Amino acid sequence: MGIQVISRDGQPEYAVVPWEQYQALLRAAGQAPAEAVSSEAQGVAASAPLPAFSEVAQIRQAKGIAPEQLARNVGVSPAYLAMIESGERQPDAAIRRALAWHLGVAGWSEPS
């Protein structure tokens, strides 16, 4: 497997390299080689409870994001965001992904 370049809007944004090449790059840069994360360690992180969607307001406030700004970024109306925050509505998969992205809650973007 060679290097894979991922572009956005015609410009290179990411490069995906095989693990051994990544380790060689780290050594060449004078950094310690990275440790592979075991599936057991990933399972521990994955088993941490996810916040409920009714906690969106608390997470949003902790990040200093205005409700209107989050609603605009997620692509919903401020009224619909208020319904999600109050627990009155459950967001669909696309809105969950957008909320996960903007609030930094990775587990919300995965299928339930």
Q: What is the pLDDT of residues 19-35, one digit of tens each?
A: 888 888 888 988 877 77
Is 112 a residue whose pLDDT tops 60? no
Q: How far is CA 94 from CA 21, 48, 87, 103, in A?
A: 35, 23, 17, 14
**Percentage above 70 pLDDT, the chain:** 84
Tell me which architecture the domain covering 53-109 has in CATH: Orthogonal Bundle (1.10)
pLDDT of residue 78: 95
Element (H, E) at 58: helix 56-62
Q: What is the pTM of this model?
A: 0.55
Range(s) of the chain covered by CATH 1.10.260.40: 53-109
Average pLDDT over residues 10-17: 88
